[in-house]
């Protein structure tokens, strides 16, 4: 794949590439933007190091890809509601995002992508893993693909953001609202066709997928458990070691991710903008 304005260096065989030769704080030319967009589609998650962005510049980069989401449960920054501060203080026990998930799949129109910017990183640990859901689908047997074709799954925030859910646990520097019993559920296809690449990807995740549409939770559990285990196998993943001022942009339509919680006693401060997407088909 030829890129005219940037250098693209894959970090694993499955997905992920570091982008060099671009300063995201500057106005990007259309040619550079097109190269970044293509790298994003080609590699599913892309990384930039040593970026020095203001809040406005962070949002402006996100807006090149679409409108920005204001999270329904996590309060955004004062004056910048589109920016979510993801902070684990030294005394916090549970991190945010510490399980495999696809951001915002509980919405009727889930997120296109998330752009996470590292403000303060621990001296060790705190890596993030991503899993390629194109590969998860493509490695299924023909029989399993036929079984999943046409199936829909129910996605909701009511488990993950409930009183017992990991995302709703108290954290010193984050303001999270808990999801009530009236929290909506939405049905999305289990096999999703990517609106830009046309490729098929598995689209279920353990944080927000409750059951198959028209099935009971008990009936759904064995097949969902198989898919959850299958779609995050090591050969489908990459792992990123954060450095201060690094930025990651991932495609929630074709990836899941997992933030490791292995730096107790140290502070980690990230800031995220999320680009709105469209209804899966």
pLDDT tops 90 at residue 114: yes
Average pLDDT over residues 169-194: 89
pLDDT of residue 1: 65
pLDDT of residue 2: 85
Count Cα neighbours of 140 within 13 Å in the Cβ-side half-sphere: 25
Average pLDDT over residues 80-98: 96
pLDDT tops 80 at residue 123: yes
pLDDT of residue 180: 82
Q: What is the DSSP string of 135-193?
A: HHHHTS-HHHHHHHTT-EEEEESTTTTSTTSGGGS-BTTB-BPPP-TT--EEEEESEEE
- Each residue of 212-236: pLDDT tens digit? 999 999 999 999 999 999 999 999 9
Average pLDDT over residues 52-60: 98
- Each residue of 63-84: pLDDT tens digit? 999 999 999 999 999 999 999 9
- Residue 58, SS3? helix
Give percent of the chain with pLDDT exceeding 90: 90
C-alpha distances out from residue 270 to 84, 89, 128, 161, 167, Å: 8, 11, 12, 20, 16
H runs (alpha helix) in 54-106: 55-63
Confidence of residue 96 (pLDDT cuts 50, 70, 90): very high
Catalytic positions, please? Answer: 101, 103, 257, 272
pLDDT of residue 168: 67
Instruction: List the structure tokens of 118.
Output: 């590292």
Confidence of residue 136 (pLDDT cuts 50, 70, 90): very high
pLDDT of residue 163: 72
pLDDT of residue 236: 98
pLDDT of residue 72: 92
Is residue 223 a contact partner of residue 212, using CB atoms and an 8 Å limit?
yes
Average pLDDT over residues 128-147: 98
């Amino acid at each position: 794949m030829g890129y005219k304005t940037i250098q693209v260096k894959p970090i694993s065989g499955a997905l992920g590439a570091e982008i060099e030769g671009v300063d995201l704080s500057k106005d990007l030319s259309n040619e550079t933007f097109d190269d970044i967009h293509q790298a994003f589609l080609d590699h599913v998650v892309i990384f930039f190091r040593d970026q020095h962005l203001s809040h406005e510049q962070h949002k402006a980069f996100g807006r090149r890809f679409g409108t920005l989401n204001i999270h329904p449960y996590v309060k955004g920054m004062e004056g910048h509601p589109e920016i979510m501060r993801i902070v684990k203080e030294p005394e916090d026990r549970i991190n945010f995002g510490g399980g495999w998930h696809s951001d915002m799949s509980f919405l009727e129109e889930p997120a296109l992508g998330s752009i996470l910017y590292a403000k303060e990183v621990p001296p060790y640990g705190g890596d993030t893993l991503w899993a390629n859901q194109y590969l998860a689908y493509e490695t299924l047997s023909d029989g399993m693909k036929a079984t999943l074709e046409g199936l829909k799954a129910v996605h909701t925030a009511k488990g993950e953001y409930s009183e017992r859910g990991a995302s709703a646990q108290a954290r010193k520097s984050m303001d999270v609202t808990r999801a009530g019993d009236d929290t909506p559920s939405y049905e999305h296809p289990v096999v999703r066709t990517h609106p830009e690449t046309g490729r098929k990807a598995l689209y279920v995740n353990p944080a927000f997928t409750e059951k198959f549409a028209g099935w009971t939770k008990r009936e759904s559990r064995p097949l969902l458990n198989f898919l959850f285990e299958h779609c995050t196998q090591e050969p489908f993943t990459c792992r990123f070691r954060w450095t201060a001022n690094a930025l990651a942009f991932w495609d929630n339509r074709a990836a899941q991710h997992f933030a490791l919680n292995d730096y107790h006693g140290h502070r980690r401060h990230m800031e995220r903008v999320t680009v709105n997407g469209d209804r899966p088909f």
